[in-house]
Amino acid sequence: MKNIPSIQRTTTQPKDLVALRQAYQGWSNTPDPLTRLTRRLSTTLSLETQLGILAEEMGSIIPFDALSYRHQIARRDFVYATGMGGPHRCEYRLGLEGVCYGTLTLNRRHKFSDEELQGVEMIISAAICPLRNACQFIAIEQAALTDALTSIPNKRALDEHLQRASLLAERHAEEYSLILCDLDHFKEVNDQHGHVVGDHLLRLTAGALETAIRNSDSVYRFGGEEFAILLPHTGEQEARDVADRVRSAVANLRIDCGGTELSVTISCGVARYMPPEGAEQWITRADEALYRAKDQGRNCTRVFATIR
């Protein structure tokens, strides 16, 4: 019969449990402002919520008239502001382990004392780790919604935004339009010039589309050589005009391929949102319009006809 090893259990001594219980009670009920701040910050990964907590806790110790925060996360500006500013200010670049996590600025009508500035620095030191975690969480979320090649939103982001646009269009009776764009003969570009040139062309196309649209519009990489543009408060004719600007911007692109110059064209299909359809039906209609554009000679815009 084989020897069966015995299992020894280690038990926590009662005095350790008592000490743990006392420590927990002290931690949860402590009047210490730094402990209270970090405990509150640890309850959320929302950067906006964290900054609200920071402003509340800091304001209870060091009065200020305005607090603002600015940071660029995943190529997007994040701005938070509360209160009304004053002529005196202190500004802090929030850094941890050599990485910047934004700039925090306090303003008020009278000058900050040296003791108050030291207090601000201590509070920031306690808050920097939770703020870093919130920034990283936003970056991870944005990465999941961003196309790695072109750095514009991907199809997952488009799906989410189309769902939201559909709800807003029905709720507020607003017009939304969708443009699907497809580079003409893109396979020939890859076959003749290689995928490096093809990838470069896709990045240039994404940039050209962004410059051709309005600030309120959004560009997405729908897949492969296909792009999508979501246009709020836009009817069919306005969307057609945007699509024609897009085609013109892409047609003006030039790529030097070592002695030969590469240029391309793009085809566009337009569909206005028709309640109460879902996002998939909306995309399908835009895709049908795009198919007609490709079938009828390419480098043109076709609109999915709707009855008003």
Rounded to 5°, the CA angle 215-216-217 comes to 95
Token pair for 102 = 């934004």
Question: Can you list the positions of beta strands (E) in the chain?
Answer: 66-73, 76-83, 88-96, 99-108, 176-183, 218-223, 226-232, 255-256, 261-262, 266-272, 301-303
Catalytic site residues? 225
Closest CA to 180 of 271, 307, 306, 296: 271
**CB atoms near residue 195 (< 10 Å):** 11
* DSSP code, position 221: E
Instruction: Yes or no: say if 129 and 34 are a contact pair by the CB < 8 Å rule.
Output: no
Q: Which tokens hold the place of 295?
A: 């079938």
CA gap 151, 251 in Å, rounded: 21
CA distance linking residue 230 with residue 228, whole number of Å? 7
Task: Give the three-state DSSP class for 195.
Answer: helix
90 bridge partner residues: 106
User: What are the b/e assignments for 218-236, b being 16+ CB within 10 Å?
Assistant: bbbbbeebbbbbbbbebeb
- Joined tokens for residue 38: 């970090």
Distance CA 37, CA 56 (A): 9
Task: Confirm if 166 and 158 have CB atoms less than 8 A apart.
Answer: no
